[in-house]
């Protein structure tokens, strides 16, 4: 299905996020609602981390270093981000973040980034920058560091989310659906076939088998609130020995299988870290993460949980395959990742009590 071209009006509205006077006016009007000592903006320095104005979409992520004058005449510095997407998805991210922030994730060891407001015309979610850097940055800077304390913290955060009473909140939570990805299978499967018949058959079979297994489990498991895209780039910590963390980007928060978050995390950790961490260490970290979540040795974890983890390792790998397939300007590891996706699914289909392929 061909996407509709984005209107020039929408592009211009999103692009205003990089117009100094516009942003200054917005913050002058809004920040007093969040900072009692706020009087006026004195200075703004902006940096665009994403700045895409395409034919069918507009995506901006902008960092604003803001200095403001206080009511007593002093000055304070704050760091604010704006994340905008022309598809309107950042409204949901704002609403979900705000709900978590107002229900126990605003303080303590396990927090979410502090939400500010949503600008409807710009389709932009404004929030306070989380202190620290991503877990991903830590292990790419020094692959020899011990990641286990930070990973243990990450399992505790996701366990808190999984125990969140989402039914007590007046909000219509989306339900995770395995084929509700962008682009959807009905689009990418024909594209795979057009490039390579064998690859097309492989991805089509994978999509079909994954859906059957997910549907089978979904009929008998208890659903919880899941993060939906749990990976090392969204985990913000101040150090590898930090005792607290903040999570960012709640676009994919939904109702689903908690093993989805575990499977996605360990597969994405593997995918992002395999060039920095040896295979034996990687396998050990993945096992440690799963053991820390369950609070028991790997061999004691029930096979149904292991199977579901592998289903979502497969799905996460497949999602990366699709993403990379459309990135024509990069070295293409599609076939290797596709083999991994099929391999993880085979572990689940055969009921093998393992989460690593080698």
pLDDT band at 3 (very low <50, low <70, confident <90, very high): low
Q: What pLDDT was estimated at residue 176? A: 93
Q: What pLDDT was estimated at residue 182? A: 84
Cα 52 to Cα 25: distance, rounded to the nearest angstrom: 23
Cα 304 to Cα 21: distance, rounded to the nearest angstrom: 56
Cα 20 to Cα 45: distance, rounded to the nearest angstrom: 9
Mean pLDDT estimate for the chain: 95
Mean pLDDT for 289-303 is 98
Tokens 């710009």 appear where? 122
Q: Using the predicted structure, report yes or no on whether residue 61 has a pLDDT greater than 70.
A: yes
Cα 232 to Cα 254: distance, rounded to the nearest angstrom: 19
Q: By C-alpha distance, which of 322, 325, 294 is closest to 308?
A: 294
128-169 pLDDT, tens digit per residue, is 999 999 999 998 888 889 999 999 999 999 999 999 999 999
In degrees, rounded to 5, the angle at the alpha carbon of residue 336 between the alpha carbons of residues 334 and 339 is 105
Cα 82 to Cα 4: distance, rounded to the nearest angstrom: 25
Q: pLDDT above 90 covers what percent of the chain?
A: 89
Cα 204 to Cα 177: distance, rounded to the nearest angstrom: 17
Rg (C-alpha) for the chain, rounded Å, is 22
Q: What pLDDT was estimated at residue 143? A: 81
Kindly report the number of other CB atoms within 10 A of residue 41's CB atom. 19
Residues 6+ apart with CB under 8 A from 349: 209, 213
302-358 pLDDT, tens digit per residue, is 999 999 999 999 999 999 999 999 886 555 689 999 999 999 999 999 999 999 998
Q: What is the pTM of this model?
A: 0.93
Q: Give the full edge-to-edge strand order of the sheet including 235-237.
A: 110-112, 245-247, 235-237, 133-134
Pairing between β-strand 235-237 and β-strand 75-85 as defined by DSSP bridges = unpaired
Q: Using the predicted structure, report yes or no on whether residue 112 has a pLDDT greater than 80.
A: yes
Residues 6+ apart with CB under 8 A from 31: 38, 41, 66, 68
pLDDT band at 122 (very low <50, low <70, confident <90, very high): very high
pLDDT band at 180 (very low <50, low <70, confident <90, very high): confident
- Cβ atoms of residues 338 and 192 within 8 Å: no
Q: pLDDT above 70 covers what percent of the chain?
A: 98
Q: What pLDDT was estimated at residue 330? A: 53
Calculate the dihedral angle through the C-alpha atoms of 336, 338, 250, 137, rounding to the nearest 10 degrees: -10
Instruction: Give me the DSSP letters along 253-314.
Output: -EEE-HHHHHHHHHHHHHHHHTTTS-HHHHHHHHHHHHHHHHTS-GGGS-HHHHHHHHHHHH
Q: What pLDDT was estimated at residue 333? A: 83
Q: Using the predicted structure, report yes or no on whether residue 1 has a pLDDT greater than 90.
A: no
Mean pLDDT for 166-193 is 93
Cβ-in-10-Å burial (0-12, 13-18, 19+) of 30 comes to middle
Q: What pLDDT was estimated at residue 142? A: 87
Mean pLDDT for 284-298 is 98
pLDDT band at 179 (very low <50, low <70, confident <90, very high): confident
Q: What pLDDT was estimated at residue 329? A: 56
Cα 118 to Cα 275: distance, rounded to the nearest angstrom: 38
Q: By C-alpha distance, which of 262, 256, 258, 264 is closest to 314?
A: 264
Tokens of 4: 């509709």
Q: What pLDDT was estimated at residue 129? A: 96
Q: Where are the beta strands (DSSP E) in the chain?
A: 38-53, 58-70, 75-85, 110-112, 115-119, 124-128, 133-134, 224-226, 235-237, 245-247, 254-256
């Amino acid at each position: 299905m061909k996407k509709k071209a984005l209107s020039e009006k929408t592009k211009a509205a999103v692009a205003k996020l990089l117009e100094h006077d516009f942003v200054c006016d917005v913050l002058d009007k809004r920040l007093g609602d969040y900072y009692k000592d706020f009087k006026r903006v004195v200075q703004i320095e902006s940096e665009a981390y994403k700045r895409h104005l395409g034919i069918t979409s507009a995506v901006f992520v902008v960092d604003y270093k803001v200095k403001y004058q206080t009511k007593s005449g002093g000055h304070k510095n704050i760091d604010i981000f704006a994340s905008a997407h022309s598809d309107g998805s950042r409204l949901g991210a704002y609403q979900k973040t705000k709900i978590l922030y107002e229900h126990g994730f605003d303080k303590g060891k396990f927090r979410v980034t502090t939400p500010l407001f949503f600008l409807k015309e710009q389709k932009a979610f404004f929030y306070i920058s989380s202190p620290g850097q991503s877990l991903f940055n830590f292990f790419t800077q020094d692959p020899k560091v011990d990641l286990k304390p930070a990973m243990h913290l990450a399992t505790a955060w996701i366990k808190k989310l999984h125990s969140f009473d989402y039914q007590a909140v007046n909000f219509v939570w989306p339900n995770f659906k395995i084929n509700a990805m962008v682009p959807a299978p009905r689009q990418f499967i024909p594209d795979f076939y057009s490039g390579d018949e064998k690859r097309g058959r492989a991805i089509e079979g994978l999509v079909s088998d994954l859906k059957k297994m997910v549907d089978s489990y979904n009929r008998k498991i208890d659903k919880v609130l899941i993060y939906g895209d749990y990976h090392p780039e969204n985990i913000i910590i101040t150090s590898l020995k930090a005792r607290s963390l903040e999570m960012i980007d709640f676009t994919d928060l939904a109702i689903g299988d908690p093993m989805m978050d575990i499977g996605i995390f360990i597969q994405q950790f593997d995918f992002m870290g395999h060039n920095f961490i040896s295979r034996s260490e990687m396998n050990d970290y993945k096992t440690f993460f799963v053991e820390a979540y369950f609070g028991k040795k790997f061999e004691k974890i029930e096979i149904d949980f292991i199977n579901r983890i592998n289903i979502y390792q497969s799905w996460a790998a497949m999602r990366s395959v699709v993403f990379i397939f459309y990135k024509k300007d990069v070295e293409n590891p599609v076939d290797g990742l596709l083999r991994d996706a099929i391999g993880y699914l085979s572990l689940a289909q055969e009921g093998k009590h393992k989460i690593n392929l080698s």
